[in-house]
């Protein structure tokens, strides 16, 4: 009799534990699901709503060329970010590229702009020096050079660049270092 009673209690106990356990799993799943759907990576808001999900844009530099402060390079030979206002310069059109007025080496010196580096006057595919002629692939500057916005990073960048010389912090020399470590046959 005692044995049956104990067994009976044990069975009820198991049922209760199971019920509590399943309840907890369901609750956890619901919590996880909601959290996941409303907080998906760096995107904030429901994954079912496209209406109010826009990347934050922040403020672009309004400082005119000649008065802006150059931005630290991300790593050696990275394309530098554009520190100045671009009002009136965009879009870059096939027959009109305002950037060239100031960044072609011949003009840059007198204007105080940074001249385009030698890599932009060299056809890297064919290994051909183009002299003072800009390589056509470099014409759409904004494919590689972008302005910087003043906006807090959603995730802190831990990357630390390793510059091999002081000069490489402020000037590029890709064409001189491109073949470093490559053995010519």
Question: Smallest distance, Å, CB 139 to ligand HEC?
Answer: 6
167 lines the binding site for ligand HEC (CB under 6 A):
no
121 lines the binding site for ligand HEC (CB under 6 A):
no
Write the binding mask 77 to 106 for ligand HEC: x where contact by CB under 6 A, - elsewhere.
x-xx-xxx-x--x--------xxxxxx---
Single out the residue of 31, 145, 164, 167 in contact with ligand HEC (rule: CB under 6 A): 145
C-alpha distances (whole Å) from 76 to each of 69, 80, 92, 149 are 19, 10, 27, 21
**CA–CA separation, 74 and 85 (whole Å):** 20
Q: Contact 85/62 with Cβ under 8 angstroms?
A: yes
119 lines the binding site for ligand HEC (CB under 6 A):
yes
What residues contact 120, with CB distance under 8 A and at least 6 apart? 134, 135, 138
Alpha helices by DSSP H, the chain: 2-38, 98-103, 105-111, 174-177
Residue number with CB closer to ligand HEC (58 or 66): 66
67 lines the binding site for ligand HEC (CB under 6 A):
yes
Single out the residue of 30, 32, 70, 169 in contact with ligand HEC (rule: CB under 6 A): 70
């Amino acid at each position: 009799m005692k044995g049956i009673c104990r067994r009976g209690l044990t069975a009820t106990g198991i049922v209760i534990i199971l019920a509590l356990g399943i309840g907890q799993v369901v609750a956890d799943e619901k919590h996880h699901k909601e959290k996941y759907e409303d907080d998906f990576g760096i995107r904030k808001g429901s994954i079912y709503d496209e209406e109010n999900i826009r990347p934050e844009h922040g403020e672009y530099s309004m400082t005119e060329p000649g008065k802006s402060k150059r931005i630290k390079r991300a790593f050696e030979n990275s394309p530098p970010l554009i520190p100045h206002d671009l009002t009136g310069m965009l879009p870059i059109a096939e027959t009109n590229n305002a950037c060239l007025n100031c960044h072609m080496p011949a003009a840059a010196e007198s204007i105080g702009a940074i001249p385009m580096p030698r890599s932009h006057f060299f056809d890297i595919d064919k290994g051909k020096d183009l002299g003072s002629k800009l390589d056509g692939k470099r014409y759409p500057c904004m494919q590689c050079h972008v302005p910087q916005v003043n906006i807090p990073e959603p995730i802190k960048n831990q990357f630390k660049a390793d510059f091999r010389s002081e000069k490489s912090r402020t000037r590029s020399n890709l064409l001189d270092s491109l073949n470093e470590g490559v053995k010519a046959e």
